[in-house]
Chains A and B, each alone.
Chain A
């Protein structure tokens, strides 16, 4: 997100990690308690509006025992990895290729902007016609979401690298290859990582959406069938897992990576959290 970095915000007091975790766990505990209370006999919320935490847990164990839960998770993650791998590699590669020449970049910018604006779920009807109701459509949608987001951000990232850096490498006898490798790629890395991080977040969402429409298995199918068959515990379980997997990808992979890159090569001193 384009929130400008600043050195003027209040200094953050250092506190031990366990303390942060404990404080952040409190709202989850409160929400769980409220949910439990609302669905208990005292709260009186009927089961067809919201089942109790216990009912959701029982259902989860049942689905786990049947094996459907694990296969749904694995199929969603598998498609995500496939689509993301293609989308990110092509997006970064083409973004750098196009971004190195200023005239070419200026030419591609309006196209990148337009396709970035319609990337993702808007392609679902076309994907279904082209690839049928199958994993191909789903993978195409993730690829599409990730590719256009990453391409656009890489292109922007390359263009923010000051030309003086490239010129000084050339003046000092470096080749164009050195310029790309030593200045453009490291300089564009913060932008590339923004693209990858947003791409993972929205790629995952498009995956769920595409699964709802175009495929027979996965977490998207779990929640959508839950809605059709009125199995609310399925929906809540799916919702919980969708959030958990997305957050894990973001916090364990991309947040540290982004923080490192911005510290190392970025133009601002501190990384956004």
Chain B
């Protein structure tokens, strides 16, 4: 009893002293009961093993795929495609968002068309992209760029519209030109919203790249998962899903989210809700 409470005390103290350990515990802890429940379901033999493998089969399959089947190479290919597509979507989204955000006439006129193009979605365009551009990386990158473009575009536009006019007017009064207003006031002011749009866009772009790979690529994480289906390897598919989820969450938590909060601290001028 005393030994147990001593262990608990030391664990609690250890967590309190190391916030990152506490965060790790808080974020990974909930997965323990989930995996335990999964294990119990497997032991009950409701479905055959090939239908639902045991949790332990997933790390085993991961080790196998890394050593025997070049999983890292496939994942790198996927990361390359999603990064290239994401950056293209970011560039285009900021460019067009800034154009439409600074001109009320354009904003009014293009609103409908842009809403419509967003509603069509990247998957609707994919067959046409394939016919125009072929079964290659360019088509996949184009599809990802299409996904990322819209949240960035709307973010840029909304961000620019939310910048107080007095800031732009003071630059003009002090002798600055329209160029200064754009670079010194509007774009920095819109930056937090741009980054937010990029974050949302990349979240969906990450799924788009995997889907596009399933449909048209020969290499990549999506291809690996889709091929696993024809060998009836549920464990390989689960590895793919875990890798996809973990990679996205790590990118989001350690790159995009800090970037977002930094820009909000540095340039955020909006009156944030709540």
Residue ranges of A at the interface with B (Cβ–Cβ < 8 Å): 1-10, 20, 23-28, 31, 49, 106-111, 113-115, 117-118, 120-126, 128-130, 160, 201-202, 204-205, 208-209, 212-213, 220, 223-224, 226-227, 230, 232, 235-236, 238-240, 242-244, 246-247, 250-251, 267-268, 272
Contacts and interface: CB of A to CB of B under 8 A. Distances in A.
A247 B210 CA distance: 25
Nearest to A255: B115
A213 B234 CA distance: 17
Contact of A239 (B128, B204, B226, B237): B128
Contacts of B104: 10
A4 B273 contact: yes
Residue picked from B119, B126, B225, most chain A C-beta under 10 Å:
B119
- The binding surface of chain B is classed by DSSP as helix
Interface of B: 26-31, 34, 51, 104, 108-113, 115-117, 119-128, 130-132, 151, 154-155, 158-159, 161-165, 193, 196-197, 200, 203-204, 206-208, 210-211, 214-215, 225-226, 228-229, 232, 234, 237-238, 240-241, 244-245, 248-249, 252, 269-274
List of 9 A-B pairs having minimum Cβ-Cβ separation, nearest first: A24-B112, A227-B127, A243-B120, A246-B119, A247-B119, A27-B113, A118-B245, A121-B211, A4-B270
B108 A23 contact: yes
Given A1-B155, A204-B121, 15 more contacts: A1-B151, A4-B270, A4-B273, A8-B163, A10-B161, A110-B31, A114-B249, A117-B203, A124-B211, A126-B241, A205-B122, A208-B121, A227-B126, A227-B128, A243-B124
20 contacts: A3-B159, A4-B270, A8-B163, A9-B161, A24-B109, A27-B110, A111-B31, A114-B31, A118-B245, A123-B241, A125-B237, A126-B238, A128-B229, A205-B123, A224-B127, A239-B120, A240-B120, A243-B120, A247-B115, A250-B119
